[in-house]
Amino acid sequence: MSEHYIHGFSDAERLRLIEQAEMLANPVFGGLDFSDDHNLLEVGCAVGAELHLIARRAPHLALTGLDLSAVHLRAGRAWLAERECIRLVQGDARALPFPDDSFDVGMTIWLLEHVGDAAAVVRELLRVVKPTGRVILTEVDNSTFGFDPPQPAITAWWDAFNRCQAEVGGGDPFVGHTLRGIAASLGAEVLAEEPRLVITSSDATRNRADQLRYLRELLASGAERMLAHGYATAHMAQAMAAAFDAVQAEPGVAFRYGAVRLLCRRPRQRPESDAAPRSAG
Ligand SMILES: C[S@@+](CC[C@H](N)C(=O)[O-])C[C@H]1O[C@@H](n2cnc3c(N)ncnc32)[C@H](O)[C@@H]1O
């Protein structure tokens, strides 16, 4: 995966993930209540940025993070060293190294867009989460990203970013809108499906410059892979950067970026009394 993963594993990416987790904490965690849970697994935890936030919000939880990247996990272990309640494990989300019924909560945050077989990950989460627990998937739908009025240089870069992520990385940048179908195909019970506006210029309580800086860094994080694989040029990168400068200087330009949060669990076993009566004899 490493040379194809769109964001890469640089120190700049580690810092971007930590800033991203803080910036998007409300859309990701708002409305979630962990007070009755004892343990939680985040699959695709990277450097542990989300686990760090969860530990602050719900210090009673025993936390486990799993990621394929040894580089990210090493950075995460160094950063989270003082938090003994967080265990970081290397592994593949499609074949989790945990027994059935191990966790109260299983989460993905910005993972499934990078995995060719998202259903395999959700199947594994449903297996390792207790029947009374829940699986929480918070995932992008990159078709929701946009500016009003349109910004062609940013759109051209974003389209190339998505093509590179899908064709080189083998992921699905639009996975958010497929979550319900994936859960249904696995027989899971959907508890909630919520659109989450992760970035929006229409929320006056959120800092416009910070949100734009976040979007700009997100798009720039794909530059190395996009240039290496011929999906973008240095000229496109300059035009994209100039367009962000222009949007920053013009408060009338609106922007948005959305995700989907799906909560599901294993289908409940039918109680004995509901089962079809056995034929006599
Ligand atoms: C965008 S990062 C998300 C990190 C984290 N959830 C957060 O919000 O900060 C995606 C992570 O998924 C990991 N990843 C990709 N494919 C994986 C797989 N098959 N199994 C486990 N981790 C995987 C990458 O190594 C990367 O760390």
Q: How confident is the model at residue 23 (pLDDT cuts 50, 70, 90)?
A: very high
Calpha distance 181→272 (Å, rounded): 29
- CA–centroid distance, residue 275 to ligand 1 (Å): 41
Token look-up 């990210």 returns 72
- CA–centroid distance, residue 7 to ligand 1 (Å): 10
Calpha distance 107→100 (Å, rounded): 15
Q: CA 205 from chain center: how many Å?
A: 23
CA 69 to ligand 1: nearest atom: 25
Residue 2, pLDDT score: 58
Token look-up 């090493």 returns 74
Q: Whose CA is nearest to atom 3 of ligand 1?
A: 110
Pocket probe mutation, ligand 1, options 52, 74, 98, 111, max atoms within 8 Å of Cβ: 111
Q: How confident is the model at residue 1 (pLDDT cuts 50, 70, 90)?
A: low
- CA–centroid distance, residue 249 to ligand 1 (Å): 34
Q: 3-class DSSP state for residue 205?
A: coil
Q: How confident is the model at residue 267 (pLDDT cuts 50, 70, 90)?
A: confident
- Please write the tens of the pLDDT for every residue from 199-257: 999 988 889 999 999 999 999 999 999 999 999 999 999 999 999 999 999 999 999 99
Report the mean per-residue pLDDT for the chain.
92
Nearest Cα neighbor of 247 from 208, 194, 219, 203 is 208
76 backbone dihedrals φ, ψ, rounded to 5°: -65, -40
DSSP state, residue 97? S
Q: Which overall architecture, per CATH, does domain 11-141+171-200+252-267 show?
A: 3-Layer(aba) Sandwich (3.40)
- CA–centroid distance, residue 68 to ligand 1 (Å): 7
Q: Is the pLDDT of residue 269 over 70?
A: no
Cβ–Cβ under 8 Å, residues 38 and 44: no
- CA–centroid distance, residue 277 to ligand 1 (Å): 47
- Please write the tens of the pLDDT for every residue from 50-65: 999 999 999 999 999 9
- CA–centroid distance, residue 269 to ligand 1 (Å): 32
Q: Which residues contact 5 (CB under 8 A, 6 or more apart)?
A: 69, 114, 169, 225
pTM for the predicted model, two decimal places: 0.93
Q: Is the pLDDT of residue 278 over 50?
A: no
Pocket probe mutation, ligand 1, options 15, 22, 53, 68, max atoms within 8 Å of Cβ: 68
Ligand 1 interacting residues, C-beta cut-off 6 A: 1, 7, 17, 21, 44-46, 49-50, 67-69, 72, 92-94, 109-111, 114-115
Tell me the β-bridge partners of 216. none
- CA–centroid distance, residue 23 to ligand 1 (Å): 18
